[in-house]
Amino acid sequence: MVLPERERRTFWIDGDRLRTDPVPGAELVVDGSWLLPGLVDVHTHPGTESRDLPFSDEVLRRQLTDHRDAGVLLVRTPGSAARIPAWVDQDPALPRVRSAGRWLATPGRFFPGFGRDVSEADLVRAAVEEARSSSGWCKVIGDWKHGEPAVPLEILTAVVRAVHAIGGRVAVHCQTAEGSRNAVLAGADSLEHGMHLDPDLIDRMAAQGTAFVPTLSVFGAGADRRRAGEPSAARDAWLAGWAGMLPNVRAAHEAGVTVLAGTDSLPCGTVSTEVAWLIRAGLPAQAALGAASWAARSWLGLPGLADGAPADLVAYDTDPTLDPTALAHPSRVILRGRVVA
């Protein structure tokens, strides 16, 4: 059974492509399972394990392999400590990667030296450079600490216009009301986190095609620790922002915003946890699953399960839309036409 269509279909694999016509000499590898296009994590940062350690090719390979073994066959890295090296795309055993180059951080708005530190005056030029040197994306740290100003709207708007002019796309980190507002008004292609998002901006996001990547699992994992912390303005602001995130995710989905699954956390390969959070926020199970599979692949420019599509798919013994916990336990993983797990 193929999702999302819920149709009984048969595919053959010819090289690294799916075919609907029989391929001579084919070997049966999956029978009677639920088939999904390869899973997607649209917000993950493989290659680093902490801010104290440098970007590492060894860590990058291991973490991408963790994604792959969990059925995540396409990842988007919205910012890294270093540009993703070319060998990743040349390795058939690793997931497909869509990168955004290095994080772009203006003074005081990120961990010093962890991304690419640029002045506000140089931000437009740097954004175009990162988009051109990556998979067409760039990532701007649009805000940082509570009570401190976000990247000004006019600068962020200029970034979006310049990157769009070369055919690129802009992701914006935003965790304050001003940062989320500016990202939407500037026409960013995706809000990363979107904490403190004004619900009145959701219809505008839908109209202009701004996607919402709320990374609920990483926030949810830290919520109890925040509540137990010493009272402060920053703590109270964070908790207020978290309280609004699940209702905003549901409202965004209902308004037609593209809501996508991204983990922003370690270990890699846990996108099933993010899907569970999207369901908890109020998304129907099929929509939450699509946010980590067919909808995410389409948003990143790849088809689902169709004749001529890349042979990237995962198989399950049970219907993951009826039992979302099954998503963490694929029975078969096929990447570029090869059985890898």
Residue 300 predicted with pLDDT over 90:
yes
- In-domain check, residue 317: no
Distance, CA of 226 to chain centre: 24
* DSSP letter string, 46-63: TT-S-TTS---HHHHHHH
**What is the average pLDDT across 161-183?**
98
**What is the average pLDDT across 98-119?**
96
| Residue-level pLDDT at 75 | 98
Count of structural domains, the chain: 1
N-terminal to C-terminal alpha carbon distance within the chain: 20
- In-domain check, residue 331: no
* DSSP letter string, 214-281: --HHHHHHHHHHHHHSPP-HHHHHHHHHHHHHHHHHHHHHHHT--B-----SSSSS-HHHHHHHHHHH
**What is the average pLDDT across 254-272?**
97
The predicted-structure confidence for 218-234, as pLDDT tens digits, reads as follows 999 999 999 999 999 99
Q: What mean pLDDT value characterizes the chain?
A: 96
- Give one word for 136, left, alpha or beta, with left for phi > 0 and alpha for psi -120 to 50: left
Smallest CA-to-CA distance from 70 within 101, 98, 44, 102 is with: 44
Q: In terms of C-beta density within 10 A (0-12 exposed, 13-18 middle, 19 or more buried), how is residue 58 classed?
A: exposed
Residue 13 predicted with pLDDT over 90:
yes
Beta carbons within 10 angstroms of residue 328's beta carbon = 17
Smallest CA-to-CA distance from 149 within 179, 119, 187, 105 is with: 179
- In-domain check, residue 16: no
- In-domain check, residue 230: yes
Strand 72-77: give its sheet, edge to edge. 39-41, 72-77, 96-99
Residue 51 predicted with pLDDT over 90:
no
Question: E strand or H helix at 103, and its extent?
Answer: strand 103-105
Residue 50 predicted with pLDDT over 90:
no
In whole angstroms, give the CA distance from residue 248 to residue 174. Answer: 14
Strand partners, 192: 173, 213
Q: Which two tokens stand for residue 52?
A: 């104290």
Asked whether the bond before 267 is cis by omega within 30 degrees of 0, the reply is yes
At 320, is the secondary structure helix, strand, or coil?
coil
CATH code, 245 = 3.20.20.140
| Residue-level pLDDT at 53 | 84
Tallying the residues shown for the chain, one arrives at 341
Identity of residue 129? E
Smallest CA-to-CA distance from 116 within 108, 126, 131 is with: 126
- In-domain check, residue 64: yes
- In-domain check, residue 18: no
- In-domain check, residue 222: yes
| Residue-level pLDDT at 116 | 97
Domain span at residue 270 reads 38-300
Identity of residue 145? K
Of 4-13, 37-46, 49-58, 79-88, minimum mean pLDDT range: 49-58
| Residue-level pLDDT at 52 | 83
- For the question of whether the overall pTM of this predicted structure is more than 0.95, the answer is yes
| Residue-level pLDDT at 329 | 96
Q: Residue 207's pLDDT band (boundaries 50, 70, 90)?
A: very high
**What is the average pLDDT across 61-76?**
98
Helices (H), the chain: 57-69, 87-90, 123-133, 153-165, 177-186, 202-208, 216-228, 233-255, 271-281, 285-290, 294-299
- In-domain check, residue 162: yes
| Residue-level pLDDT at 94 | 98
